[in-house]
């Protein structure tokens, strides 16, 4: 099951209390202060991992509570610190404070650690509080409480190229033909219900890029029709969009316009990304109609592999330009 959203309750551990104690000496009824410090609590830490692909495990647990620090003791014995809780999340996970909706972190790198709930500091014992002006403090400190937060985790997959099209436009067949991605393919709508990633290799230049296949868009899906548009978050990070339109449709330009409108309803920034337009399934067109492809468009047949290399080369060129403009 592909779960790309989760809400968790994170409670970091409280710090242990400092100790109020005095060294026992034979000829002094009250010796030097020797109360140890309390240990810090455990923190709640997210760690980016390329081996995790959904938020399923995180969502099922929901409540995360780290252990508190142990209290300090006499003879300058410090309390043990609480254990941190490490939560593995997929790369591309964005963390929000659910109450304020403010972003806290974006996990993009392997083994990147993000403290989302900070542990409480341990209280100081009277040995630590002693100083020149007050050599025998009659107090110690209580431990500080650990942070407590409700967090919303949202996964946005990491890809270079995003495939956009209507259901059965040939997106899944295309990504299957050029990568090892294996999305479900069938002759009925909405066979793709979750994003699929594929690595496209260019052997001639020893390079590769990541392509994302997402569920199909239909007209007015921003109003909740079909599968809606929430899954468009998974192509927000892409540099290039590939707009796929089936060759057998009545008006390719109108089909592309509908898709662009739905992208714009989700995000103007997404709709403004560099795009290439691709007519799919040209093997189904009679020869006399193949010359009617709109100007500037590419055409492919994933079944016969016609023009596949040309399209991959075009995508790589667009990616190269995009990367240079960002640097």
Three-state secondary structure call for residue 140: coil
Q: Directed axis angle between helix 308-326 and helix 171-178, to 10°?
A: 90
pLDDT tens per residue across span 160-201: 999 999 988 888 889 988 887 665 555 545 555 678 888 999
pTM: 0.79
Query: 10 Å Cβ neighbour count for 220?
Result: 14
In sequence order, what are the beta bridge partners of 298? 278
State residue 283's pLDDT score.
Answer: 87
Nearest by Cα to 104 from 154, 60, 144 = 154
Token representation of residue 4? 């790309």
| Mean pLDDT along residues 261-289 | 89
Contact 198, 181 (CB under 8 A): yes
| DSSP alpha helix (H) spans, 3-75 | 56-61
Residue 39 confidence class, pLDDT cut points 50, 70, 90: very high
Backbone angles phi, psi at 319, to 5 degrees: -65, -40
Residue 274 confidence class, pLDDT cut points 50, 70, 90: very high
Domains of the chain (ranges, CATH numbers): 5-155 (2.70.210.12), 161-326 (3.40.50.300)
* Comparison of pLDDT for 1 and 18, the residue scoring more: 18
Secondary structure E strands in 66-175: 85-90, 93-97, 102-107, 113-117, 148-155, 161-165
Nearest by Cα to 82 from 47, 129, 58, 118 = 118
pLDDT at 147 over 90: yes
pLDDT at 223 over 80: no
């Amino acid at each position: 099951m592909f779960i790309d959203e989760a809400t968790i309750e994170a409670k970091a551990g409280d710090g242990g209390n400092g100790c109020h104690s005095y060294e026992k000496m034979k000829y002094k009824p009250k010796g030097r202060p020797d109360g140890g410090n309390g240990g810090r609590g455990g923190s709640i830490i997210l760690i980016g991992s390329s081996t995790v692909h959904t938020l399923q495990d995180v969502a099922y647990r929901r409540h995360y509570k780290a252990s508190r620090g142990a209290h300090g003791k006499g003879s300058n014995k410090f309390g043990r610190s609480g254990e941190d809780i490490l939560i593995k999340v997929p790369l591309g996970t964005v963390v929000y404070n659910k109450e304020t909706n403010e972003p806290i972190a974006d996990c993009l790198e392997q083994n990147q650690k993000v403290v989302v709930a900070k542990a409480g500091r341990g209280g100081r014992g009277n040995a630590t509080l002693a100083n020149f002006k007050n050599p025998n403090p009659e107090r110690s400190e209580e431990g500080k409480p650990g942070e407590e937060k409700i967090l919303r985790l949202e996964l946005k997959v990491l890809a270079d190229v995003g495939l956009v099209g209507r259901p059965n436009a040939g997106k899944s067949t295309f990504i299957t033909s050029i990568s090892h991605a294996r999305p479900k393919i069938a002759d009925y709508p909405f066979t793709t219900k979750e994003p699929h990633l594929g690595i496209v290799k260019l052997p001639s230049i020893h390079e590769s890029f990541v392509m994302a296949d997402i569920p199909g868009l239909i007209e007015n899906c921003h109003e909740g029709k079909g599968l809606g548009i929430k899954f468009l978050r998974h192509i927000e990070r892409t540099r290039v969009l590939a707009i796929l339109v089936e060759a057998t449709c009545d008006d390719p330009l109108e089909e592309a316009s509908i898709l662009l409108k739905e992208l714009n309803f989700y995000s103007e920034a997404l709709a403004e990304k560099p795009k290439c337009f691709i007519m799919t399934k040209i093997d189904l067109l009679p020869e006399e109609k193949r010359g009617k492809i709109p100007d500037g468009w590419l055409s492919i047949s994933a079944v016969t592999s016609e023009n596949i290399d040309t399209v991959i080369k075009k995508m790589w060129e667009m990616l190269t330009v995009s990367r240079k403009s960002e640097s």
